[in-house]
């Protein structure tokens, strides 16, 4: 009984060539010996291979539909074991397993270059308000001697005599499934299809040389550590004078002697004496915008923070700026002369913070402890 090739592939008798090819690809992925080495699966694989050989060929399909033997009518064709005939060529195998046909023909000597990255140190002020910087980069550029061709002046690339310009060579091997034709890059021309008999003496045939260049980089306001600025087309020129990759400039913000950055806010600490914290004062502070006075209100406690709005770093995305947070540290005197000590005792007595019995009002123990430490020279 003749084999029903339509049933083997699981398609209707009126299926289109596209439907037949899709069914074959799906089954080939499932049943290929490299994927499923089971002997029964291998027999099944031979069947779908033979079915596809017949149904994918209009002439053989016509003979089969009329009830004839398409394989004998076509001169045998390898029968059901014709692995190479069933797939047609190596591209069908690649198409079945990877969903696309293998690319044939020589590969281009011209390829895109790699991306490059350098680190740029900037000051806090430059990060806050933006700036421009001149940087020097060492990258590959197009060879001026051969203009990227790779051949010495007066010479040109020649067609490879091994692959005859195809860039690949084919090899036929036999397996239990029949003959298999495989292709691989030509070992003589490395798949380019051409050879360069006389390479350029400047670039040794690569079509590019290394050179130091000076670039001007615009640093936007608000950048931070790790921010990368992309300079399109300023990276490495590709082999054969191909398009250049991109250059990435990674920002590194140098530490500031006064301010610590947290996001777009800046923080700093000012130290004032105990009397200034009690009576209030104004402390001059050099901000990123110039000198300003920080208003210390009477009774300010150590650890209290005073915000100066819009004195921080510019927001990288969107308008406005962060704040400058001033942290106050109250300094308690560690040594007092007799007159100063007497004045503090009199103050404590006037405020009712010291009693002859050594008892203290609730909430005043902390203040007296600090005064006592000052008296004892701590």
Q: Is residue 189 a known part of a binding site?
A: yes
pLDDT at 374: 45
Phi, psi of 13 (to 5 degrees): -70, -20
Six-digit token pair at 8? 């083997």
Q: Is residue 268 a known part of a binding site?
A: no
Residues 278 and 321 in one domain: yes
| Contact indicator for 91, 104 with CB cutoff of 8 Å | yes
CATH code: domain of residue 7: 1.10.287.110
Asked if residue 115 belongs to a domain, the reply is: yes
Six-digit token pair at 218? 């615009």
Residues 55 and 179 in one domain: no
Residues 247 and 303 in one domain: no
pLDDT tens digits, the chain, 378 residues: what are they?
A: 467 888 888 888 888 888 888 888 888 877 766 666 677 777 888 888 888 888 888 888 877 877 777 765 444 443 333 333 344 444 445 444 444 444 556 888 888 999 999 999 999 999 999 999 999 999 999 999 999 999 999 999 999 999 989 888 887 776 655 667 778 889 999 899 999 999 999 999 999 999 999 999 999 999 999 999 999 999 999 998 899 999 999 999 999 999 999 999 999 999 999 889 989 999 999 999 999 999 999 999 999 999 999 999 999 988 899 999 999 999 888 787 888 778 878 877 887 766 544 444 444 444 444 544 444 444
pLDDT at 15: 87
Residues 274 and 326 in one domain: yes
pLDDT at 104: 58
Distances (CA, A) of 302 to 328, 334, 345: 6, 16, 22
Residues 302 and 244 in one domain: no
pLDDT at 176: 58
214: containing domain: 106-152+201-254
Q: DSSP secondary-structure letter at 161?
A: T
pLDDT at 38: 73
CATH code: domain of residue 266: 2.60.260.20
Q: DSSP secondary-structure letter at 151?
A: B
| Residue 316 to residue 165: CA distance in whole angstroms | 54
Asked if residue 371 belongs to a domain, the reply is: no
For the chain, the domain total comes to 4
3-state SS assignment for residue 338: helix
pLDDT at 378: 42
Q: Is residue 203 a known part of a binding site?
A: yes
């Amino acid at each position: 009984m003749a084999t029903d090739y339509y049933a083997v592939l699981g398609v209707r008798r009126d299926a289109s060539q596209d439907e037949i090819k899709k069914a074959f690809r799906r089954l080939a992925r499932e049943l290929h010996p490299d994927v499923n080495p089971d002997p029964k699966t291998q027999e099944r694989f031979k069947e779908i291979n033979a079915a596809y050989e017949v149904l994918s060929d209009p002439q053989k399909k016509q003979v089969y539909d009329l009830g004839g033997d398409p394989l004998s009518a076509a001169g045998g064709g390898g029968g059901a074991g014709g692995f190479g005939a069933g797939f047609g060529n190596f591209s069908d195998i690649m198409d079945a397993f990877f969903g696309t046909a293998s690319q044939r023909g020589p590969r281009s000597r011209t390829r895109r270059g790699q991306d490059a990255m350098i680190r740029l140190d900037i000051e806090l002020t430059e990060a806050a308000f933006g700036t421009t910087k001149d940087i020097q980069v060492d990258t590959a550029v197009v060879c001026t001697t051969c203009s990227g061709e790779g051949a010495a002046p007066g010479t040109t690339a020649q067609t490879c005599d091994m692959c005859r310009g195809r860039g690949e060579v084919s090899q036929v091997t036999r397996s239990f499934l029949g003959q298999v034709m495989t292709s691989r890059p030509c070992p003589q021309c490395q798949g380019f299809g051409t050879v360069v008999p006389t390479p350029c003496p400047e670039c040794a045939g690569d079509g590019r040389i290394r050179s130091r260049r000076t670039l001007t980089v615009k640093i936007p306001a608000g950048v931070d550590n790790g921010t990368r600025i992309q300079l399109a087309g300023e990276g490495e020129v590709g082999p054969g004078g191909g398009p250049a990759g991109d250059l990435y400039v990674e920002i590194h913000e140098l530490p500031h002697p006064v301010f610590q950055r947290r996001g777009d806010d800046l923080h700093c600490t000012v130290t004032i004496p105990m009397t200034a914290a009690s009576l209030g004062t104004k402390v001059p502070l050099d901000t990123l915008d110039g000198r300003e006075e920080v208003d210390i209100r009477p009774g300010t406690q150590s650890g209290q923070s005073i915000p100066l709005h819009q004195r921080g770093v510019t927001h990288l995305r969107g308008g406005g700026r962060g704040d400058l947070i001033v942290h106050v540290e109250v300094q308690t005197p560690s040594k007092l002369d007799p007159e100063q000590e007497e004045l503090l005792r009199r103050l404590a007595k006037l405020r009712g913070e010291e009693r002859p019995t050594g008892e203290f009002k609730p909430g005043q123990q902390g203040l007296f402890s600090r005064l006592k430490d000052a008296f004892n020279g701590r």
